[in-house]
Amino acid sequence: MMQGMRIVGGTPLNGTVKISGAKNLALPALVATLLTDAKITFSNVPNLSDVNCILSLLESLGSKYENDTKGTITISTPTILSHIAPYDIVRKMRASILVLGPLLARNHAAKVSLPGGCAIGARGVEMHLEALKLMGVDIALNDGYIDASAKKGLFGANIKLPFPTVTGTENVLMAATLAKGKTRIQNAAKEPEISALIDLLTLMGAKIEGKGTSEIIVNGVDSLRGTCFEIMSDRIEAGTYAIAAAITKGKLFLEGARYCDLKIFLDTLQNSGLTVLENENGITIAGRDSIKPCSISTGPYPGFPTDLQAQYTSLMTVANGTSTITENIFENRFMHIPELLRLGANISIHGNTATVNGVKSLKGAQVMATDLRASVSLVLAGLAAQGTTIVNRLYHLDRGYEALETKLKLCGANIERFNI
């Protein structure tokens, strides 16, 4: 059933938001369980449709899991029963491509549908495939599927990624843990979620050097073991609620958020005149009546996160002046802007740069979500707008934000979900 969200804006948000586990770690971490036949128990797993999707995919491959609905999942794959990741599941989420490396490492064969997910750019898998070829994988593209085999197993290789792709780094990293010999990954992505994935793999018995750097060295081992692992807090969710505080001129304590994961973003908020206070349990964000314009340019970590670009654009629509937003990662990540215009924003786009002229206030209207981060940017704009905003196509939102309206309501938001 299609759902919408009704928001009556104009109320400052105040209170505490508990930040959920990181979606962008939970997905590769769950996939990594394919590398062993032992049980792995995860805590702080967010309850998201993307997580449920990856669990369905793993189950189709032979995994068995127990989910207590409180964020703890125990999963094991005693035997790979199928090496085929079908279109019906993979089309829903691009992260499904992550099963390719682990299946090849453990099963020496994989047939994975070309992925779907948010329509925010090409995000091709060519980098994954070229890297795996260097490890001894034969690859063919047939009828929309990646048909891959490594009859003699995987072998260590020197791999230089042309771009620090997150999922590409994760795919090669997981594959390399069971490869014969040493794999050197150059120009690797450095996101905190990759460092956390390395922590998980190390607990499982992998031999990995270079965590947090652009060069990762993996010495393959014969097998991996089970372990227990806690999913880190979601830095993108934390950044989203930081903007919720800023755009509503409120004050929120983001429980579990880590400054070190969001330094460039939080520094930008401070440059916009907001108060950012860190303590050992989280971060406090306090808004102000006048928001200073501040231009940003997205880039690979530790640069400004592309996953916070849409939300930050919403904030700049009500800044006191003009800012520019340059998107360097995904070519289609301005699809939220036509919807912000419906709310009264003043934005023009030239190539990969949006010029945002702040307005005194936004006005409620009906808008439509086009992808995960665009959807929440419209919710943020609705929280600041005069009158009522209706956000349609919420299934995008549910892919990456756990109990969003519940968390916002507890901080004073006038927001409700309804069936269309």
Give the residue numbers marked as catalytic: 118
State the Cα–Cα distance between residues 136 and 129, nearest whole angstrom: 11
Are 310 and 333 within 8 A, CB to CB? Answer: yes
**Region for 388 from its dihedrals, namely left if φ exceeds 0, alpha if ψ lies in -120 to 50, beta otherwise:** beta
Amino acid at 283: I
Paired tokens of 12: 């400052």
State the Cα–Cα distance between residues 418 and 273, nearest whole angstrom: 36
Backbone Cα Rg of the chain: 21
Structure-token match 């050197």, residue found: 184
Q: Please report, in angstroms and rounded to a whole number, the separation of the first and last CA atoms in the chain.
A: 7
Are 298 and 305 within 8 A, CB to CB? Answer: yes
Paired tokens of 131: 């890297």
With the C-alpha atoms ordered 84, 86, 87, 89, is the resulting torsion angle positive or negative? negative
Q: Are strands 73-76 and 296-297 parallel, antiparallel or unpaired?
A: unpaired
Which of 168, 177, 167, 172 lies closest to 203 in space, CA to CA? 177
Paired tokens of 251: 């004050």
Are 388 and 6 within 8 A, CB to CB? Answer: yes
Are 201 and 177 within 8 A, CB to CB? Answer: yes
| Residues facing residue 417 across a β-bridge | 5
Q: What is the DSSP letter of 277?
A: E
- DSSP letters spanning 49-103: HHHHHHHHHHHHHT-EEEE-SSS-EEEE-SS----EE-HHHHTT-GGGGGGHHHH
| Residues facing residue 3 across a β-bridge | 419
